[in-house]
Amino acid sequence: MKHLLCLSQWSSQEILETIKMSEKLKFENKNGIRHNHLLKGKTLGLIFAKSSTRTRVSFEVAMYQLGGYSLFLSSSDIQLGRGETLSDTARTLSRYIDGIMIRTYKHSDVIDLANCSTIPVINGLTDSQHPCQVLADLMTIKEYKGKLRGVKVAYVGDGNNVANSLLIGCAKTGVDISVATPEGYQCEDATVEHAREAAKESGSKIVLTEDPYEAVKDADVVYTDTWISMGQENEKEIRKKIFISYQVNDKLMGIAKKDAIFMHCLPAYRGLEVDEKVIDGPQSVVFDQAENRLHAQKAVLVKLLG
Ligand code: CP
Ligand code: NVA
């Protein structure tokens, strides 16, 4: 059985096929072709231990458009929040529904849940990875740049869940990626290793640096995310000081290619990781990115639950 826990477990071909399927579903959706036969009668449980706007709404709408049904399961409302084990939760839910999406803290919890489930599990974000986001991001990059191979992405800021998944996603699909993070806030070692392995096959160039200007020089895509991820709220003041020189503003965008696009997974904090002139300016594609979550996740759902 297939899960989506981390992009490192999907082959390049699977990732590229999923992006193609996302493009087809988006085109059809825009042209009035309905998809409500694809997952007719299927049900997806959505377990959330952290907040969400995009992930929750796009998964719920995706299941509706595919002819299925979704159940929002806040982890504080189900017995998981009172101490029922992940394994008992997984085995119980497997008797009722056809798939589980989970957003939580520890990545190992998602792996444990998947190991005890007899239905596909989709990672809707952990402290370590955000694979659904990056499938939509790769789709968006392809939409704007017409290709993936050879495109240069610069990620600037915290080496967090989004950065980890972006690094793997780019390395698997031949996208060149430069990541600029302050010392002590780099991407996870295991992720970097996976990405370097994948890059050997795909030909993608990986650069890890502390210098945002080095990363962004001649980039086709400039990407950032919040400096304070969910669960890090008590580090807010110190992080704001450490990351100050990593803000994406006009000056930094100025050294990317002229036609570079600006990306952010959202939610964004204007005046911190990104200046409002950039995120609300003509190079920003953040709402196309957000929309593509819907199309990319429909492709994932059809692949795993169909
Ligand atoms: N980008 C993203 O996952 O957004 P939400 O936290 O709103 O789901
Ligand atoms: N890195 C952010 C992403 C939110 C979608 C977080 O984990 O809060």
pLDDT tens for each residue of 141-153? 999 999 999 999 9
Cα of 52 from ligand 1 centre, angstroms: 5
Question: Where are the extended beta strands (E) located within 138-211?
Answer: 152-156, 176-180, 206-209
Ranges of residues in the chain with a pLDDT under 70 are: none
Q: What is the pLDDT of residue 1?
A: 80
Strand-pair partners of 274 = 248, 270
Q: How far apart are CA 190 and CA 210, in angstroms?
A: 19
Q: What is the pLDDT of residue 43?
A: 98
Q: Is 132 considered catalytic here?
A: no
> 6, 170, 187, 265: which one is catalytic?
265
Residue whose token pair is 């839910």? 93
Pick the residue whose CA is nearest to atom 7 on ligand 2.
229
Q: Is 54 considered catalytic here?
A: no
CA angle 222, 226, 228 (to 5 degrees): 150
Q: Is 225 considered catalytic here?
A: yes
Global pTM?
A: 0.98
Q: Evaluate the omega torsion of the peptide bond into residue 267 and state whether it is cis, within 30 degrees of 0.
A: yes
Tens-place pLDDT, residues 186-227: 999 999 999 999 999 999 999 999 999 999 999 999 999 999
Kindly state the tokens that stand for 188: 């996870």
Q: What one-character DSSP code corresponds to residue 9?
A: G
The CATH H-level superfamily of 7-130+293-305 is Aspartate/ornithine carbamoyltransferase (3.40.50.1370)
Domain 7-130+293-305 identical in fold to domain 133-289: yes
Identify the CATH class of 133-289.
alpha beta
Q: Where are the domains of the chain?
A: 7-130+293-305, 133-289
Q: What is the pLDDT of residue 181?
A: 98
